[in-house]
Structure formats: structure tokens, C-alpha cells
Amino acid sequence: MKLSLTLRHVFVLVVCAFALLPIVFVVSAAINPLGTLASTELLPKGASLGNFGDLFASDTYPFARWFLNSVFIALASSFASLLLSMLAAYAFSRMRFAGRRTGLLALLLIQMFPQFLAIVTIFIIFTKVTEMYPAFGFNTVWGLLLLYLGGALGVNTWLMKGFLDTVPKELDEAATVDGASHAQIFWRVIMPLVTPILAVTALLAFIGTMSEFIMANVFLRDPESKTLAVGMYGMIAGDQRNANFGMFAAATLLTAVPTVGVFLWLQKYIVSGLTAGAVKG
């Protein structure tokens, strides 16, 4: 019995060490005063915030601009896709209309294929968009935002539709008897009940947008319009990997701040959603 308990503790310690080692390494590289990959150690000799200062003072790598671009795109994309997906999910869950089943199956089938498989088609479309509406074309935050909205709509709709199906329809009928319209039912009855799934979907959308690289790398070429994923990749591309590793590690730590902040903000809703789901089961 004691041997089994000891092995469990050892296993837990090994798993914790495996999970914490990369974080400790990044923190060590960020505070390493030498700021190079070759000089990075798990326990650096000395500590300094010079890499953070160099990161914000660099003219070659406008990190502050990348940070603002990423946060703005992630917040705007999450909010807009959440609203559109919720409206679509409400229609599929509560209303009966021609093409409903076909539309649901189409959304499901489309999600089976990664978005980057359509990169050639999307590139051609946005080439025309750039010619007619430059503000929504290549090298613009608004163009990338539109692209993200289209990609997230399908999976979010399916996720929310499944949650809406668990909400009793008798609530809608009671509100209808009281004279409520579809809009009033949606905003005043349904929305307060589905806050947990909204929080989970918003968090997933935010994290996915903050870390997205492939589409942003294709669309953004101007240094001032890049997101964190694309800009930070350029910091360690080619011969710059050794020299800029300290700044890259510092940027990695700062990049985690918005995601952690959003998670802490939505934590109570996520926990309540998990608890409600457990009670329903």
C-alpha cells in the first residue's frame, strides 16, 4: 500500500515537472541578461529585464503594435462570431424551416475540412476585394477579421445549438403567451440561460484567434499590420534565432497575459456551466 502511494506521488511529481519545465525555461530565457539562445540556461547567472526593454524599444520589431493588433482582432472576432453564431444556433434550435436539416449537415461537413485547404480560393477572393475595397484587403486588420468571422461561424453554431437544445422549449412558449416576440425571447429568456456556453465559446474563439498563424502569415506582410504569431515568428526566423531569443521569450510571456486575463474574467461562468452540466447529467 505504501509502495503504491509512493509511486503515485512520484508520478504526479514527474508530470508536474514535465509541465513546468518549459515555462521555467521561457522565464529563464526572458530574464537572461545575455539574451541569446546559446547563453540560455535553466538557472541563468543573473537576472535582468533588459529583454523586455529591448522588445519595446526595437524599431525592427514593433511588438506593441503587434500586441494591439492581436488583442483587437481576437476580441472583435470573438464577440462578432459569438453573436452571429448564437443567432444562427437559436434559429436552428427553435425554428422549423425549409432547408434546416440540410443547412446543419452542410455546416458539419464543412467543418471536417481545415480552413487552410481553401487558402488558394480565399487568396483569389481577397485579391479582388483588395482592388475594390483596399481597407478590407491584404495587409489590413479588417480583412483578416472578416476572414476569421467566416471560419469560426460553423463550429460555434453547432456547439451552441447543442446547448440550446437542452433549454426547455416551454420557456419560449410561456414567454410567447405573455406576448413576447422572438427578439425578446432571445435576449431576455434564452441569453441569460446560456451564459456558460457563451463564456466557453468566447474563450475558445479568443485563444484560437490569438494563436492563429497560417492565414495571418499569408495575409499580413506589412510589419505594422502583423499579429503576434506572425511577428514573433519573424523574430527567430533564419539567422535571427540566436540573437533575438531573449526578446522572443519575453514576448512569449507577455502574449500569455491577454489569454490568462480573459480566462480569469470568464472563469466563474465556465465553472457554473460545468456544474450545471454535471447536475443535468
- Record the cell numbers describing residue 51, joined without a space: 529583454
Residue 48's pLDDT band (cuts 50, 70, 90): confident
Cell readout for 131 is: 482592388
Task: Tell me if residue 35 falls in helix, strand or coil.
Answer: coil
State the residue range of the domain holding 98. Answer: 62-235
DSSP 135: G
pLDDT (0 to 100) of residue 66: 92
Q: How many domains does the chain have?
A: 1
259 lies in some domain: no
CB 167 within 8 A of CB 173: no
Say whether pLDDT at 22 is over 70: yes
> What does the CA dihedral 242, 227, 126, 109 come to, rounded to 10 degrees?
100
Domain annotation covers residue 206 = yes
Average pLDDT of span 53-59:
87
The mean of the pLDDT values for the chain is 82
Cell of 106: 452542410
Structure confidence at residue 39 (pLDDT): 67
What does the pLDDT read at residue 38?
65
Residue 267 resides in a domain: no
Model pTM score: 0.82
Which amino acid does the sequence have at 201?
T
Cα–Cα distance, 65 to 45 (Å, whole number): 32
Are the C-beta atoms of residues 87 and 187 closer than 8 Å to each other? no
Contact in structure between 115 and 151 (CB atoms under 8 Å):
yes
Contact call for residues 75 and 69 (beta carbons, < 8 A): no
Is residue 17 situated within a structural domain?
no
Q: In the chain, which ranges are continuous DSSP H helix? A: 2-31, 50-57, 63-94, 100-110, 119-132, 141-164, 170-177, 182-184, 191-193, 195-211, 214-219, 228-235, 240-243, 245-280
Question: Would the pLDDT of 24 be above 80?
Answer: yes
Amino acid at 253: L
Please say whether the beta carbons of 62 and 134 come within 8 A. no
**pLDDT value for 21:** 85
Q: Is residue 146 part of a domain?
A: yes
Position 274 in a domain: no
**276 lies in a domain?**
no
Task: Tell me the per-residue pLDDT of 235-266, one tens digit each, with 9 for 90 and over.
Answer: 887 777 777 888 888 999 999 899 889 888 88
pLDDT in tens, 79-136: 888 888 888 888 888 888 888 888 888 877 777 777 777 788 888 888 888 888 888 8
- Residue 122 belongs to some domain of the structure: yes
1 falls in which pLDDT band (50, 70, 90)? low
pLDDT higher than threshold 90 for residue 68: yes
Phi-psi region of 35 (alpha: psi -120 to 50; beta: other; left: phi over 0): left
Q: How confident is the model at residue 281 (pLDDT cuts 50, 70, 90)?
A: very low
Whether 87 and 247 have beta carbons less than 8 Å apart is answered as: no
- What pLDDT does residue 130 have? 85
Distance in angstroms between the alpha carbons of the first and the last residue of the chain: 34
CATH of the domain at 180: 1.10.3720.10
Q: Residue range 165-183: average pLDDT? A: 84
**Dihedrals φ, ψ of 227, to 5°?**
-95, 175
pLDDT at 278 over 50: no
Residue predicted with more confidence, 271 or 11: 11
